């Protein structure tokens, strides 16, 4: 039986449960999008469908949503630290299947069992190899379990994290800025600034919402970038992406990148599949590619781009300094078709957000690719 079928068949899937799940999704959105862990929310209901406690995951190393909600319930009862089953007979409504492993924190499945929860309702199964299995453990302890409530909404909310975990590589966003005729630089190589201040600030916000930022060694040698996420006044934002330099050439000892607050990862390889697999092992779930035409073209050609952020400036340059290089496409029938999901005006510039028209990796031209150094 599928999660959706189980949800339709259960008398627990009433209005109170769905309202609680929507509240749990809203709570989850308060958690950080970076850090490797999913955004999760939890609402505890009594037998009458009333909310008695709620919680969400505040970031890596902090209590998970279920444990956060249980701790708040215990605090309200004045039973912090006690062994009593503070949630006896309650229903836990969670956006993601409770985890069943010990990482920086203990398994949520065991915490719910110990607290005496009678029913657990969740939206989406945990796809993690080590963290999944919470539903099975709960059933073994005679806890009623129901999955698939508002599954489509939860899938959409967690899409980037779920995609990364299911594929074993980060969600890859490719960004570039170009003129309307597709040029990323003038004939002499200058490119600062193609876009205006509003567009550039949006880029810094997107960096802060990413676990890692990828560039090629050619970009590092040519531009000596800092790759930090900064505010309007140039101050460092609280969240910083991990800088990753893709290529075999070492980063110079005096490069600005060597003073990045997150440190620096040098891949020492141009094998993109290996690079992304390694980043996934490091906990990177969102990778932001900002490394110039060489790296961007290699990722697009390999079918590894999940999302495109294309900044278009109302200017013309002509010449051959294109935002993308050769993708190995020889006929229009093989064009990589995109689906535009949003268009936004930022000052005089446009931000076009797009995704592959077909899921990444399904193209017949998908190959293991490497990036060539500039």
Each residue's pLDDT tens digit, 160-178: 999 999 999 999 999 999 9
Asked if residue 224 belongs to a domain, the reply is yes
Residue 130 has pLDDT above 90, yes or no: no
- pLDDT tens, 88-123? 899 999 999 999 877 666 789 999 999 999 999 999
Which stretches of the chain are DSSP H helices?
Answer: 3-9, 15-28, 65-77, 108-115, 134-140, 151-157, 159-167, 197-208, 217-223, 272-281, 292-301
46 with 121, same domain: the answer is yes
Give 38: exposed, middle or buried? Use CB within 10 Å, 0-12, 13-18, 19+.
buried
Claim to verify: residue 155 and residue 11 sit in the same structural domain: yes
Give the model's confidence band at 230: pLDDT under 50 very low, under 70 low, under 90 confident, else very high: very high
Q: What is the pLDDT of residues 35-77, one digit of tens each?
A: 889 999 999 999 989 999 999 999 888 899 999 999 999 888 7
Structure tokens at 326: 């050769």
Q: Give percent of the chain above pLDDT 70.
A: 89
The SS3 call for residue 76 is helix
On the question of pLDDT at 24 being above 60, the answer is yes
Task: Kindly compute the dihedral angle of the four CA atoms of residues 225, 228, 232, 234, in this order, to the nearest 10 degrees.
Answer: -70
Which helix or strand (DSSP H or E) is residue 172 part of? strand 171-179
153 belongs to the catalytic site: no
- Whole-angstrom distance, CA of residue 251 vs CA of residue 366: 30
Task: Tell me which DSSP letter residue 259 carries.
Answer: G
| Assigned domain for 314 exists | yes
Answer whether residue 240 shows pLDDT above 80: yes
Structurally, the chain folds into a number of domains equal to 2
pLDDT at 1 over 60: no
Active-site pick, 3, 54, 66, 146: 66
- 354 touches 338 (CB < 8 A): yes
**146, 164, 182 — which closes off a domain?**
164
pLDDT one-digit tens code per residue, 197-215? 999 999 999 999 999 999 9
Q: Work out the end-to-end distance of the chain between its first and last CA atoms, rounded to an integer number of angstroms.
A: 53
Range of the domain at 101: 3-164
Q: Considering the domain boundaries, does residue 370 fall inside one?
A: no
Following DSSP, what letter does each residue of 85-100 receive, concatenated?
-TTTT-EEEEEEPPP-
Q: What is the pLDDT of residue 218?
A: 87
Same domain as 257, residue 225? yes
| DSSP helix/strand/coil, 7 | helix
pLDDT at residue number 14: 66
Structure tokens at 154: 């939860």
Statement to judge: residues 103 and 179 lie in one domain: no
């Amino acid at each position: 039986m599928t999660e959706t079928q189980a949800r339709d068949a259960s008398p627990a899937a009433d209005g109170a449960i769905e309202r609680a799940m929507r509240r749990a999704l809203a709570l989850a959105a308060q958690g950080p999008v970076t850090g490797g862990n999913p955004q999760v929310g939890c609402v505890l209901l009594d037998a009458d469908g009333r909310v008695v406690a709620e919680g969400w995951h505040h970031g890596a190393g902090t209590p998970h949503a279920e444990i956060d909600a249980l701790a708040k319930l215990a605090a309200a009862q004045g039973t912090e630290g006690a062994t009593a089953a503070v949630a006896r007979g309650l229903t836990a409504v969670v956006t993601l299947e409770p985890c069943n492993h010990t990482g920086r924190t203990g398994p949520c499945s065991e915490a719910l069992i110990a607290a005496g929860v009678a029913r657990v309702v969740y939206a989406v199964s945990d796809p993690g190899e080590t963290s999944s299995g919470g539903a099975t453990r709960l059933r073994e302890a005679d806890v009623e379990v129901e999955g698939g409530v508002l599954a489509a909404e939860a899938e959409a909310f967690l899409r980037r994290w779920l995609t990364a975990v299911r594929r074993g590589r980060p969600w890859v966003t490719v960004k570039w800025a170009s003129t309307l005729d597709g040029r990323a630089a003038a004939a002499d190589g200058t490119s600062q600034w193609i876009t205006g201040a509003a567009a550039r600030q949006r880029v810094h916000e997107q960096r802060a919402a990413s676990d890692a930022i990828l560039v090629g060694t050619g970009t590092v040698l040519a531009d000596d970038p800092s790759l930090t996420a900064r505010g309007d006044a140039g101050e460092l934002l609280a969240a910083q992406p991990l800088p990753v330099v893709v290529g075999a050439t070492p980063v110079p000892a005096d490069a600005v990148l060597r003073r990045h607050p997150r440190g620096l990862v040098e891949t020492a390889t141009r094998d993109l599949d290996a690079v992304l697999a390694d980043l996934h092992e490091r906990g990177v779930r969102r990778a932001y590619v900002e490394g110039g035409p060489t790296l961007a073209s290699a990722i697009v050609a390999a079918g590894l781009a999940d999302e495109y952020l294309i900044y278009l400036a109302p200017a013309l340059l002509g010449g051959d300094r294109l935002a993308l290089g050769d993708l190995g496409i020889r006929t229009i029938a093989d064009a990589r078709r995109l689906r535009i999901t949003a268009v936004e005006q930022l000052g005089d510039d446009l931000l076009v957000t797009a995704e592959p028209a077909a899921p990444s990796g399904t193209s017949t031209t998908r190959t293991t690719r490497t990036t060539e150094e500039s």
